[in-house]
Amino acid sequence: MTKQLSVLPAVGLMALLAILPSGCAKAQAARTTPDGPPLDMPAPPPRDVEATGTDAPPPMPLPQEPARNAPPRPRPAPPPRENRPEPAKPEPPKPEPAPPEPPKPAPANEESKPASTLQTKPAGEEGDVERGIRSTLTRATTDLNRVDYRTLNTDARAQYDYAKRFVRQAEDALRQKNLVFAKTVADKAAALAAQLAGR
C-alpha cells in the first residue's frame, strides 16, 4: 500500500508534465498564425474646386428721395431801421479809485477749521435724519446686547461680528456727517441684530 501511495504522486506528476507542453504549443501556434493581408486604404477623392464664373450681382441703386411738399418760403425782409443820430451824453466824472486795502490775516480759528462738507439734506432735516440714525443704532445695539455670543454657532458669530462692525462704521460716518452712508450701514446693523435677537 505504501508503494501505491508513492506511485500515485509520480503518475500525477507525469500527467501534469504531459499536459503543460501541449498548452504551450497551442499558445505558440495561436501567436504565429499570420494576420490577413494588409488592408488597402482607398485613395482620397480628388479635390476638384470649380470656380464659379458668375460675378456678384450689381449693387442696388438707392431709392429716390421723395419730393418735398413745398420749397422753403423766403423770409420777409425786416423793416429798415431809421438811423437817428443819438444825442451825445455827457460823461459823469469818474471818481479816483481807492487804493486797495491790504488783505487782513485770517484768525487762527478759521485756519484750523476743516472745509465744510457738501450736504444733500437741508440743515433743518439733517437733525431729524441724524436722530433717526441714532435711534436705529440704539435699537441695533440693544438687540446685540441681548444675544449671548457664547451660544452662537460659527455662522451666527460671523453675523454678530458684522453687525458690531456696521454699528462702528455708522458712528464714524455720523461723526464725519456722511448721513447717507451712516443710514445705510445702521439699517444693515439693525437688520442683522434683529435676526440674531430673534433666535
- Report for 26-30, 38-42, 76-80: range of highest mean pLDDT: 38-42
Residue type present at position 162: Y
Is 94 a member of any domain? no
Residue 198: pLDDT band by 50, 70, 90 thresholds?
confident
Residue 31 has pLDDT above 70, yes or no: no
Is 163 a member of any domain? yes
Between 170 and 75, the higher pLDDT residue:
170
Q: What pLDDT score was predicted for residue 58?
A: 77
Is 112 a member of any domain? no
Q: What pLDDT score was predicted for residue 14?
A: 82
Q: What pLDDT score was predicted for residue 1?
A: 57
Are the beta carbons of 182 and 174 closer than 8 angstroms? Answer: yes
In tens, the pLDDT along 76-130 reads 766 666 666 555 665 666 666 555 665 555 555 545 555 555 555 556 678 888 9
Residue 19: pLDDT band by 50, 70, 90 thresholds?
confident
Is 107 a member of any domain? no
Q: What pLDDT score was predicted for residue 144?
A: 92
Is 17 a member of any domain? no
Q: What pLDDT score was predicted for residue 103?
A: 56
Is 136 a member of any domain? yes
Q: What pLDDT score was predicted for residue 155?
A: 93
Is 59 a member of any domain? no
Residue 132: pLDDT band by 50, 70, 90 thresholds?
very high
Is 42 a member of any domain? no
Q: The domain containing residue 179 runs over which residues?
A: 129-197
Global pTM?
A: 0.40
Cell numbers 451660544 label which residue? Answer: 151
Percent of the chain with pLDDT over 90: 31
Mean pLDDT computed over every residue of the chain? 76
- The number of domains in the chain is 1
Between 41 and 103, the higher pLDDT residue:
41
